Amino acid sequence: MGVLLSGLKKRYRDGTDAVHHLDLDIASGEFFSLLGPSGCGKTTTLRMIAGLEEPTAGTIHINGREVTRMDPGDRDVAMVFQSYALYPHMTVRQNLALNLQAQRVARQEIEIRLSEVAHLLGIERLLQKKPGQLSGGQRQRVALGRAIIRRPAVFLMDEPLSNLDLKLREQMRTELKRLHQKLGITTVYVTHDQVEALTLSDRIAVMGAGEVQQVGSPTEVYECPANLFVAQFIGSPGINLLNATPSEGGLSIGPWPLPELQVTPPQREVVIGIRPEDIILSEPKGGTLRGSVELLEPVGSSIFVFVRLEKGEGVAQGNDRVVVGLSARQPIVVGEQVGLILRTERIRVFDPAGPALQASEWSIREHRFA
């Protein structure tokens, strides 16, 4: 049950491959996010599930029923758009009731559902107003209500919070989570915002270049990225990626030896990934790496410290800087010389071509990590 996508492809007439052979099994009642950068195929996938785009190949099943070639109105799905898509000349009540009236639902049943949805979303006092009289958050609640009132098998949401300001987005994330817990309806949610995906989802499919790069829980995709694309896309600031090269006795990060890291086969170049919060600042001589503090970026209770590595050209991918996450209360000043201690139990190791190394391919001090 839920939503099953098998071998789903979409190629446009100009030859553009938007989605490549997509296989996803979304469980009934699950909140499932499609996360990725613009142009990765996530919205195209959602539109194929909705019936707004026709697949080039593959099948779509909803609750065990194949709907691949069905009209959108016959799929038992409700879509919430980024633009709200409310009729401006109608009141909130009329916008909510319109689809039910088109389905010839009895008037008494419509009134019951209107009352339930208005109470659920806290919009009872807005029913006689028109969309132009509402705030962005209120309009988004009405758009959600129009989907909820249909009692569909699946909610499809296409970046529904992107037009809201930061505070409203935070509030609506909480509302969406509460609504999903209460209603338990299968939800497929498209977003490029990793915070939304990580906070709302039961599982996430990270997409890139029309393909699913990894499917997992928010913890899995953050802690155990399947490849360099996922590692770099998830996390803010992003993961630190350090080039490790063969040296006498094992591997080195630039001029600094790292004998505790063992890879198979030996004498193999790898990329080490470590999150900012998994690096400890120390005295310069006490660190695995050394450098100077170049920039401080306070973010409330935390501060991100950008460290320019000493003799580190070509070590840190991107700009030869390493980002360290600290408590904002920890004293630190620009220009200070520091050492960097890597929490080795928290590192991930990747092949330079992209994939994460398997547990059998690397170890630290005889202890293996999945």
Alpha-helical segments (H) within 149-223 = 166-183, 194-200, 218-223
Closest to 321 in 3D by CA, of 270, 276, 257: 276
Domain identity same for 266 and 197: no
For residue 339, is it within any domain? yes
Instruction: Supply the pTM of this predicted model.
Output: 0.90
pLDDT band at 365 (very low <50, low <70, confident <90, very high): low
Domain identity same for 53 and 167: yes
Query: Which tens digits make up the pLDDT trace of 82-95?
Result: 877 889 999 999 99
| pLDDT, mean of residues 53-69 | 97
Q: Which of 108-122, 216-230, 306-320 has the highest mean pLDDT?
A: 216-230
Determine the structural domain holding residue 271 and report its residue range: 237-361
Give the pLDDT score at 369. 39
| pLDDT, mean of residues 8-25 | 94
CA distances 64 to 8, 68, 265, Å, are 16, 12, 46
Give the pLDDT score at 368. 39
Query: Which is it for strands 57-62 and 3-11: parallel, antiparallel or unpaired?
Result: antiparallel
Domain identity same for 69 and 166: yes
Domain identity same for 206 and 276: no
Residue that terminates a domain, selected from 191, 207, 226: 226
Domain identity same for 209 and 241: no
Average pLDDT, the chain: 91
CA distances 233 to 157, 188, 239, 240, Å, are 21, 20, 9, 12
Does the N-terminal peptide bond of residue 276 adopt cis geometry, omega within 30 degrees of 0?
Answer: no
Whether residue 28 has pLDDT greater than 50:
yes
- Other CB atoms within 10 A of residue 95 CB: 24
Domain identity same for 271 and 350: yes
8 Å CB contact between 262 and 270: no
Domain identity same for 182 and 276: no
Residue that terminates a domain, selected from 226, 251, 280: 226
| pLDDT, mean of residues 262-291 | 91
8 Å CB contact between 137 and 84: no
| pLDDT, mean of residues 38-48 | 95
Q: Indicate the burial class of 223 (C-beta count within 10 angstroms; 0-12, 13-18, 19 or more).
A: middle
Whether residue 35 has pLDDT greater than 70:
yes
| pLDDT, mean of residues 73-87 | 88
166-196 per-residue burial string, b: 16 or more CB within 10 A, e: under 16: eebbeebbebbeebbeeeebbbbbbbbbbeb
Distance from C-alpha of 18 to C-alpha of 9, rounded to nearest angstrom: 8
Give the pLDDT score at 370. 37
pLDDT band at 158 (very low <50, low <70, confident <90, very high): very high
| Domain CATH code at residue 125 | 3.40.50.300
Domain identity same for 80 and 125: yes
For residue 89, is it within any domain? yes
For residue 368, is it within any domain? no
| pLDDT, mean of residues 256-267 | 84
Query: Which tens digits make up the pLDDT trace of 297-334?
Result: 999 889 999 999 987 778 888 777 899 999 888 889 99
Domain identity same for 167 and 301: no
| pLDDT, mean of residues 238-251 | 87
8 Å CB contact between 45 and 19: yes
Among 79-93, 230-244, 272-286, which is the least confidently predicted range?
79-93
Domain identity same for 295 and 168: no
Counted domains in the chain:
2
Query: Which tens digits make up the pLDDT trace of 171-203?
Result: 888 888 998 999 999 999 999 999 999 999 999
